[in-house]
Chains A and B, each alone.
Chain A
Amino acid sequence: MSPRFPRRKPVGAMAPDVDHFSFTPENMAKAQEIIARYPEGRQASAVLPLLHLAQAQHGGWLPKAALDHVADLLGMPRIQVYEVGTFYDMFNLEPVGRIQVRVCTTTPCWLCGSDEVLRACRDVLGVEPGESTPDGRFFVREFECLGACANAPVMWIDDDYYEDLDYERAKRVLEAIARGDKPRPGPQSGRRGSMPAGGKTTLLFAEEGE
């Protein structure tokens, strides 16, 4: 019987738990700028951008000390920041690999072959979803709908979407990133955006008129 609630495996050896966190001076300046965007008394609205900032500063994951730091900075009850931090999958509360590979496995992507994308991850990086590579470079996980169903299946690596994947294309992207290259984001099938995969079927007149 497979476990009903697969948990992300912590990679404890990669980064020790920290009991102190504070923004670097540059990030603190950025944080102040973000906080200033919200009206007086509504500083708590800055919690999401600040958590992203903290996560970026702390190598892709948020220790409890970072959540506390953000809460204290915004004058919020700490538990409310814990709630936010645990609610969103974009925040990692355990040490993970620096490059985050998130494979969409929700129905449309799954129907279009997300299993193949996961297989590519397994073959190139040698880890199961939810694990980080032993060298601490990559972290692979399944993700719920990434909202790019027209280009399914989709993989989200750090800040970029790689779309229209199959086994070969996913493998190419991952290998390129592993080499240190930066493959072109977007559809890997050659089509532009989410134009029809088989070429245009409408608006043909407009093209002629151009």
Chain B
Amino acid sequence: MPKVTINGREYEVPAGITVFQACELAGIEIPHFCYHPRLNIAGNCRMCLVEVEKSPKPVASCAMPVMDGMVIRTDTPMVHKARRGVLEFLLINHPLDCPICDQGGECDLQDLTLFYGPDHSRYRENKRAVADKYLGPLISTHMTRCIHCTRCIRFLTEVAGVPELGGINRGEHMEITNYIERALTSELQGNIIDLCPVGALNSKPYEYRARTWELRKTESVDVMDAVGSAIRVDSRGNEVMRILPRLHEEVNEEWISDRTRFAYDGLKYRRLDVPMVRRAGRLEEADWREAFRAIRDRLAGVPGERVAFIIGDLACLESMVLVRELAARLECPHVDSRQLGERLSGRVRVEHLFNPTIAGIERADLCLLVGTNPRWEAPLVNARLRKAWRLSGLEVARLGCPFDLTYPVDHLGDSPTILEAIADGSHPFARRLEKAERPLLILGTGAVARPDGAAILHLAWRIAERYGLVRDDWTGYGFLHHAAARPGALELGLVPAEGGRDVAAILEGAERGEIEVVFLLGADEIDATRLDGAFLVYLGTHGDRAAPHADVILPGAAYTEKNATWVNTEGRPQRGRLAVFPPGEAREDWKILRALSEALGRTVPLDNLGQVRARMAEINPALSLVDAISPAAWEPFGSPGPVQDEPFVSPIRDFYLTNPITRASRTMQRCSREILHGEPAAEEAEVA
């Protein structure tokens, strides 16, 4: 380990790090713009200059490796002068429009100028002006403010794997652009807004809507996919103004997907904000008492086996605990959370969890994806796969779902019969599995949401057994969920009880008149027209696909409007927090169900959040440890059987429109039209 002296004190630092990192370890802050720990080193902003003994000039610390015996100084007049000089150069062409700039208040350039910069300008000449670029419906540009740190270029090229931004021209004429004035196509593109150290790249939906210091910041968790990204919800009054990522190394690092970041305007549109009851064929506004009475009247005398519950993609654990308790009190065996008909049993934890963990992907050396398109189903898991490919040479192969995953993928075919051949050892891929040190098998919803899903799960188990995927230090089998509620629902065992119906059977029963009352907990991915024969109670947030068919609508709270728990695909319970209040008459879902149970005369004796969570921990102790993964025991799962020669299909057809919130979001609708379906931009590129 090299020894270095920083500002007169000696430190021992790991070999191979840079002077910048050594200073950080020593607790010394070095101002910087272009350096970012998760991106390659560019060394072009020159802000991180420090003095190194025996070097005639100041040294860019971010690009200089430490060497034994280095004497580094960060507080000399030379360093101060260098920083002031660099800032003066950067400010030559930077406009002084902080008062109208969205970055104002959270701007690196503003902050560093305050601390290190000159106090006045000596520049009398004309400033350079750069035409703004059109980058799509999510990112607005003010390119005159750009300081050419190239973080955005590096992020899209390295992390997102969609190299669409570049620097054209040369010298003073350099401009950051995608050159073609069309929308960027990465589903992680919103992150370049955060990366931009100045106000050149801004969020288009948030632009000019608020100032940072007016916002109330609530740390929460995302439900747009089953990754459970750590987010910060910024709100003003009772409105969510924007959503930003929080650092969580084991889940989302510091990135979030565009669905997570931009779908929040869907919280404002098409909301169910008052209870409704269908009278003479029309849904009419009612109060809570009337709504509950309507349900009670219809339920009177209906036996439990003629009632069913279907749980949607965004439900929180608390509401699902109440569903479980209420169904038990109604003696109703037909409770299902597997909206797409996934053949997951819900009885073997290891079967439905992403056991290797998201961070664990980086340790794998060979990965087989079965029936999943991680780029759309879990963009940040895909970013991890890409990271592992880029940094440690992970090799990826897949069955089904041919899609550009941003890294090379060996497409073995589309049919489950190939999986069978791998399990038998007759497929050449078996040799690679044998040789791999830490092989990883990832199953997606597309692999099990089909009639032969249980047989495919069994094949996965056989492959895991045969090729040593599971050892003391490595569990190389993981199930990648795409819906936030699903892992939690399975952890709570929300699958049909003995003799109970699954979703398909419930729909069929409703058509045949064998199921009379159906409760939907935000379930919008099913064909609700098939439930028209039954009395439909919809508890949810949006007037989406199912609500128009409902007989009673109970308005619930969206994920930003309640203190609730979700389990991510790894089995990691995480708490979301109330950032704004539910609109109108809407209430937190577990409270609605609690009140409903009382109205029905089947009171669930859980009176506060603490009791609900205690009950949750009773049902599954793993759910009591927030942000901790309780590893699942390795047990057999699936059931042997023939597989069909049908190709695997991903459950997501449109990345931007996957749940009631995104479908209500105008931003997401626009993204879908423009980025996925290539419709021309709604607005022309702004010309400066």
> Contact string, A1-28, partner B, CB cutoff 8 A, digits 1/0?
0001100000000000000000000000
Chain B residues within 8 Å of A64, by CB: 179-180
Q: Is the CB of B168 within 8 A of A82?
A: yes
The answer to whether A87 touches B168 (Cβ under 8 A) is yes
Q: Is B165 an interface residue (CB 8 A)?
A: yes
Q: Which of B163, B170, B180 has a CB less than 8 Å from the CB of A80?
A: B163
- Report yes or no: A4 in contact with B126, Cβ–Cβ below 8 A: yes
Closest to A89 in B: B170
* B365 at the A interface (CB under 8 A): no
Q: How far is the CB of B146 from chain A (nearest CB, A)?
A: 15
Is A79 interfacial (CB-CB < 8 Å)? yes
| B166 in contact (CB, < 8 A) | yes
Whether, in the assembled complex, B279 has its beta carbon less than 8 Å from a beta carbon of chain A, the answer is: no
Given the interface pairs A77-B163, A87-B168, the reply to whether A82 lies near B179 with Cβ below 8 Å is yes
**In the assembled complex, A208 has its CB within 8 A of some CB on chain B:** no
CB-CB < 8 A to B169: which residues of A?
86-87
Q: Which residues of B contact A159 (CB under 8 A)?
A: none
Residue of B nearest to A67 (CB): B179
On whether A77 and B164 interact (CB within 8 A), knowing A4-B126, A87-B169, the answer reads yes
Residue count of chain B within 8 Å CB distance of chain A: 15
- Tell me whether chain A's interface is mostly helix, strand or loop, or mixed: helix
| Any B CB within 8 A of the CB of A33 | no
5 closest Cβ pairs, A-B complex:
A79-B166, A77-B163, A86-B168, A82-B179, A83-B166
Q: Mark A51-93, 1 if CB is under 8 A from B, else 0.
A: 0000000000000100000000000011110110011000000
Q: Total A-B pairs in contact (CB under 8 Å)? A: 32
Beta-carbon contact of A82 and B166 below 8 Å: yes
Residues of B within 8 A of A79 (CB): 163-166, 178-179
**B173 interfacial contact with A, CB 8 Å:** yes
Known A82-B179, A83-B168; 4 more pairs at CB < 8 Å: A4-B126, A78-B179, A80-B163, A83-B166
* Residues in chain B near residue A77, CB distance under 8 A: 157, 163-164, 166
Q: Report which residue of B163, B168, B169 has the largest number of chain A beta carbons within 10 angstroms of its beta carbon.
A: B168
Cβ contacts A to B, 12 pairs, < 8 Å:
A4-B126, A5-B128, A64-B179, A77-B157, A78-B180, A79-B165, A79-B179, A80-B163, A83-B168, A86-B169, A86-B170, A87-B169
Partner of B170, one of A5, A78, A82, A87: A87
Within 8 A of A (CB), among B154-192: 157, 163-170, 173, 178-180
A87 nearest CB neighbor, chain B only: B170
Give Cα A80 to B178, complex, Å. 10
Q: Which of A64, A79, A80 has the most CB of B within 10 A?
A: A79
- Interface set, chain A 129-164, CB cutoff 8 A to B: none
B86 to chain A minimum Cβ distance, whole angstroms, is 23
- Residues of B near A78 (CB, < 8 A) are 179-180
